Structure 1
Amino acid sequence: MLLWINGPFGGGKTQTAYELRRRLPGSVVCDPEHVGFGLHRTLPPALRGDFQDLRAWRQGVYEVLDLTLRRAVDLPGPVIVPMTLVEPAYFEELVGRLRTVHGVDRVHHFALLAPRETVLKRLAERGLGRGLKRESFAVSKLDLCLERLNGPEFAHHIRTDRLTVPQVADEVARTAGLRIEPNRDGRLRHRLRRVRVGLAHLRFD
């Protein structure tokens, strides 16, 4: 099974993905951003736009996920994909195509949504003391992301502004029909986990 975790930048996709991996034994995280970063590094800086516009990125991500679903049939847990994807044509090219090949019962999509001010607050918190200055790309895409992801084609929608990360993971697993291990973290351990996941995914290039 594949769980695509969509949402605006700063919407909690990565935190949710790693919470799911922690509590769904045998699950794996496949992050399509790494394909995009690799393509960017092969291009001169002047040509580095949005890597999602590159057909090589979309085809590469499809092939990686398709291969994983075909070859990892004995995985006891799902394949978890945290990735913002708001262009309807690209969504169909990736999620729609995977559903056509592998079935809607194996490819699930979730859009994590929250009010604009909530997402801005989350972005400021992860700005390493620079607030929203470090998150200018995410802020510039925020309104488009929220507008597009609210559309019916991007369901299943999960409103996260009143949910903790473990509660969002619970909802994803419940909707996909997966049995998730209970969350036994206290407040401090949960906070430390979030910091560790955030630090592991910082980029400086």
Structure 2
Amino acid sequence: MLLWINGPFGGGKTQTAHEIRRRLPGSVVCDPEHVGFGLHRALPPELRDDFRDLAAWRQGVVEVLDLALTRHEGVVIAPMTVTDPGHFAETVGRLRELGHDVRHFTLLAERETVLRRLRERGFERFLKYVRGKNAGPRGESWAVRQLDHCLERLGEPEFAEHLWTDRTTVPRTADRIAVLAGLTLRPNHEGPLRTRLRQAGVGIRHIRFD
């Protein structure tokens, strides 16, 4: 089974994916962004636009996830924002055509909720410190510019199943996805402080400097 976790940038996809992986034995996170980062690094900086528009990215994601789903015995989790219906058909749709059991979920929240989460992300504060206290993180700025478009497109029926996350936590969102997918997660025995520290660690591991 593939769990594709969609949603706006800063919407909690990566944290939710790693929460599921932590509590679902045998599962693995395969992040389609890494395919895009590799393509960006192969291009001159001035040509690095949205890698989702590259056919090579869409084809590469399908090939990588098809291999993981075919060879790996556990659940595969892919946290990735896809808002273009054509791109969705060429990735999620194509994997379904190949015979894979793909469960797609879109994490949604009100605009102000996502903006607050972007401001509060621990690794964004770390980047701001490293680059100077008045420097706005590049990733956050790009995410803010994309936010309205993401929320508008991802609210469409074709991007269901929709899960609203304004008044819930990452562990509870993971629980909800598991129920809808027919999976059983290990119980979550973490306290709030340990959860925050672990989530900060996930964020730091996903810092990008290029």
Counterpart code for 2:119: A
Candidates 85, 97, 105, aligned match of 1:100:
97
CA apart distance, 1:71: 1.8
Conserved 8 A contact 1:30-1:79: yes
- C-alpha distance in 2, partners of 1:192/1:112? 22
- C-alpha distance in 1, partners of 2:61/2:36? 9
2:111 aligns with: 116
Conserved 8 A contact 1:124-1:131: no
Q: Does 1:83 find its partner at 2:85?
A: no
1:191 aligns with: 196
Shift of the 200–149 alpha-carbon distance from structure 1 to 2, 3 Å rule, reads same
**Scaled by the length of structure 2, what TM-score is found?**
0.92
CA apart distance, 1:133: 2.7
Conserved 8 A contact 1:35-1:60: yes
Q: How do 1:125-144 and structure 2 match up within 5 A? A: 125-126=120-121, 127-128=124-125, 129=128, 133-134=136-137, 135-144=140-149
1:59 aligns with: 59
1:18 aligns with: 18
CA apart distance, 1:11: 0.2
Structure 2 spans left out of the alignment, 5+ residues: none
CA apart distance, 1:46: 1.5
Counterpart code for 1:60: G
Structure 1 spans left out of the alignment, 5+ residues: none
RMSD: 1.3
Q: Which runs of 4+ in 1 moved over 3 A?
A: 129-132
**Scaled by the length of structure 1, what TM-score is found?**
0.94
Counterpart code for 2:117: R
1:156 aligns with: 161
Q: Give identity over the alignment, percent.
A: 66
What secondary structure sits across from 2:98 in the alignment? helix
Deviates more, 1:131-140 or 1:154-163: 131-140
1:179 aligns with: 184
CA apart distance, 1:190: 0.7
What secondary structure sits across from 1:137 in the alignment? helix
- C-alpha distance in 2, partners of 1:55/1:131? 37
CA apart distance, 1:158: 0.4
Deviates more, 1:122-131 or 1:138-147: 122-131
What is the count of residue pairs matched by the alignment?
Answer: 200
